[in-house]
Amino acid sequence: MKSLVHWFVYLLFCLVTNYQVFAQQNKIDSLKKILENTKNDSSKYEILLLIGAAQENIDYKVSRKLYDSVLTLVEHTNYTLTKARVYSAIAGLGFDHADYPLAIKYYTSAAEQFNLTQGNVRTYGVASVYNNMGGILSLINEWESAQKYYLKALKEYEKLKDTTKMVTVYFNLAFVFSDMDEWNKSYELMYKAFHLTEGSKNKSQNITIFARLATICFKTERVTEGVTYLKKADSLLNYSHLALDLVYYHHAYGEYYYHQKDFTHSIKHHNLALYYAVKWDDPYYLSDESIEVGKDYLQMKQFDSADVYFQKSFQVAVQYNYKPKTLLSLAFLSGLEEAKGNYRKAYEYKKEQAAFADSLVKQQNQYRILLMDEEFQAEKKSNEIVELEKDKEIQDLSIKQKSTLNYFLIGSLAALIIVGFLGYRNIRHRHQLAKQQDELQQRRISELEKDKQLVAVDSMLKGQEEERSRLAKDLHDGLGGLLSGVKFSLSNMKDNLIITPDNMAVFERSLDMIDTSIKELRRVAHNMMPEMLTKFGLDEALKEYCNTINATNLLVIKYQSIGMDTRLEKSSEIIIYRIIQELLNNIMKHAAAKEAIVQLIKEDGRLNIIVEDDGKGFDTALLKNNKGAGLTSIQSRVDYLKGQLDIHSEAGKGTLVNIEFNL
């Protein structure tokens, strides 16, 4: 069965691919003949772009060389639209082959060129770029940035009143929220798309919308409504045979039967969705539908078949660098091994999943920085163009003024002296004005650099907190669950085995050690992302943290708070918690203190933090030349919140740290 499934999918893929290659080669040969008889440069560039597009399905490297040659030909010309299109084509290659940094770079350049055009050409161009940028960012779970670009695309299509394109963007936005498991928000966006398609003659798009709406309804327990949309899709099925429409259609039916726990029919429809995903030749849907079939087999406890499809999804996701899909495939493979009772292999998949999660976080941070750099460079170029246009206006005005002055110079010598004097003052004034403009420009660049640094720090801090939260959850739910399972298994074995008294003592000590490990694991997970902080806020979390330290008898901490009745912003609470946590860790490590005081005072839009200890103190002058990692981390967090950090300490007299923030 396992071998048969593989051969079926492989054979279908080969047949579809060979047919597409044959058709594209005929198209390329026809275009080359037209190119030989074309003399107009603009027409030649357009034909070369068409050949490159047809070549993509045969050999994308050849296609890339062709696009690069076109780019070289038009680089120093006024063919702005051709430049925009070739940048978009290269970016599309990067998108299709998971080279997302390349795609981001060239889509940004394409947007710059489209913005230099006029009318609907400009609007459609930038809207398409923004929509594709949203697609790239959604594939790496960079959901916030993906939403930003999709909304920018929607704004452009609204100007054109292009309902079909607006529906596509709403559809993509709904997918983003589906990936975030925000199904109600996904339903809201898809419902907007549904209203826009009412009365539309685009049967293909209508089938897709009805099928997707039905799927979301089953996810949100709107079963009756979901069945209504399936019937609407049924009524239109004969009007469209597009493979992608059928992927969504059979996926929706698979979700319905899965919800009804009729896994036999669910497998049938998910397999049909997979069949059309192969015909559509899109690895994203191939990976996605493979997971769905595997889930059906898993529910039926047909573990070998489930393993085939989960492995297929994993292979496609790795090949095309879909890290979120890779993580999902590994999660199901781990769950499959747990269901089979193979806990060791399940744990190995968990470890591999954690490694891919780390890689995804790093990749997301890299793309955030790349995106900020490209946006900054684009804005800088735009500002330079504006400045050049202003300079040209000033030059034209200056030439006009000089011509007028020349007419007056012919009049008399006295007028010449006066005009010369006025000209001198005018030149001096312009020099001063140019100097001031240069200083203002330098300040603006400096401010942009600072903003860029702050955004980078924001991305870093968000990434750190997301990683802490993820690791805490993985430790608590993953490794903690495994340890608890081991303890339960050993406890059951204890009553069913005959063990000597000596071995029983060893056995009991082993159980105690597992208990200790579980407690230590929960303590570490709690420190990485305290539950009190997310549920009850900063004040309660700090009280609990101080009480925890007091219980260790390593340090006596007195905690006081004034005006902390209302919560701060979530991100600010996390950063302030980490600052105080780092300060108390430094006291326990280095201060040799017996007591410490932590005070939080919120009043009139300001927050004052005081952390004081009775330890050995130190010479604060040493901080100028030697700042440790802990203090550097504290300073960066204080700077991010635009606060003020003051440290007062003397040898033998303890240390006082005072931090102030404007809320």
- Return phi, psi of residue 567, to 5°: -80, 155
pLDDT band at residue 15 under the 50/70/90 scheme: very low
pLDDT band at residue 394 under the 50/70/90 scheme: low
Smallest CA-to-CA distance from 353 within 476, 469, 345 is with 345
pLDDT top residue among 277 and 17: 277
pLDDT digits (tens, 9 = 90+) for 144-194: 888 999 999 999 999 989 988 998 899 889 888 888 889 899 999 988 988
Is residue 280's pLDDT more than 50? yes
pLDDT band at residue 660 under the 50/70/90 scheme: very high
Residue 18: predicted pLDDT: 44
Residue 300: predicted pLDDT: 92
Query: Residue 497, SS3?
Result: coil
Residue 522: predicted pLDDT: 58
pTM check: above 0.75: no
**In the predicted model, what is the mean pLDDT of the chain?**
79
CATH 3.30.565.10 is right for the domain spanning 533-662: yes
CATH class of 168-281: mainly alpha
pLDDT top residue among 464 and 64: 64
Q: Are 116 and 135 in contact (CB under 8 A)?
A: no
pLDDT digits (tens, 9 = 90+) for 535-562: 888 888 889 889 988 988 889 999 999 9
Residue 370: predicted pLDDT: 64
pLDDT digits (tens, 9 = 90+) for 603-634: 888 999 999 999 998 888 777 766 666 788 88
- Compute the average pLDDT of residues 360-377: 64
Residue 292: predicted pLDDT: 93
Cα–Cα distance, 433 to 430 (Å, whole number):
5
Cα–Cα separations (whole angstroms), residue 478 to 330, 472, 518, 527: 13, 10, 12, 17
Q: What is the CA radius of gyration of the chain?
A: 33
pLDDT top residue among 507 and 609: 609
Find where tokens 């599309």 sit: 92
Q: Are 480 and 518 in contact (CB under 8 A)?
A: yes
Residue 569: predicted pLDDT: 86
pLDDT digits (tens, 9 = 90+) for 16-37: 444 444 455 666 777 766 766 6
pLDDT band at residue 214 under the 50/70/90 scheme: very high
Find where tokens 């499959």 sit: 336
- Compute the average pLDDT of residues 464-488: 55
pLDDT digits (tens, 9 = 90+) for 232-264: 999 988 887 788 899 999 999 999 999 999 999
Taking each helix axis from N to C end, the angle separating 41-55 and 80-96, rounded to the nearest 10 degrees, works out to 10
Is residue 472's pLDDT more than 70? no
pLDDT band at residue 8 under the 50/70/90 scheme: very low
Is residue 662's pLDDT more than 90? no
Residue 217: predicted pLDDT: 93
pLDDT band at residue 293 under the 50/70/90 scheme: very high
The residues facing 558 across adjacent strands are 597
Residue 574: predicted pLDDT: 85
Is residue 309's pLDDT more than 90? yes
For 295, the token pair is 């889930």
Strand ranges, E, within 97-181:
none
pLDDT band at residue 518 under the 50/70/90 scheme: low
Percentage of the residues of the chain whose pLDDT score is greater than 70: 72
For 449-489, give the DSSP string: HHHHHHHHHHHHHHHHHHHHHHHHHIIIIIIHHHHHHHHHH
Is residue 356's pLDDT more than 80? no
281 Ramachandran zone, left/alpha/beta (phi>0; psi -120 to 50): left
Distance of CA 413 to the CA centre of its chain: 72
Residue 197: predicted pLDDT: 83
Residue 131: predicted pLDDT: 92
pLDDT digits (tens, 9 = 90+) for 64-116: 888 888 888 888 888 888 888 888 888 888 888 778 888 888 888 888 889 98
Percentage of the residues of the chain whose pLDDT score is greater than 90: 24
Q: How many CA atoms lie within 13 A of 587 on its CB side?
A: 28
Q: What would the 3-class secondary structure string for 628-651 be?
A: CHHHHHHHHHHHHCCCEEEEEECC
pLDDT band at residue 452 under the 50/70/90 scheme: low
Cα–Cα distance, 17 to 11 (Å, whole number):
10
Find where tokens 């200083």 sit: 439
Cα–Cα distance, 114 to 530 (Å, whole number):
48
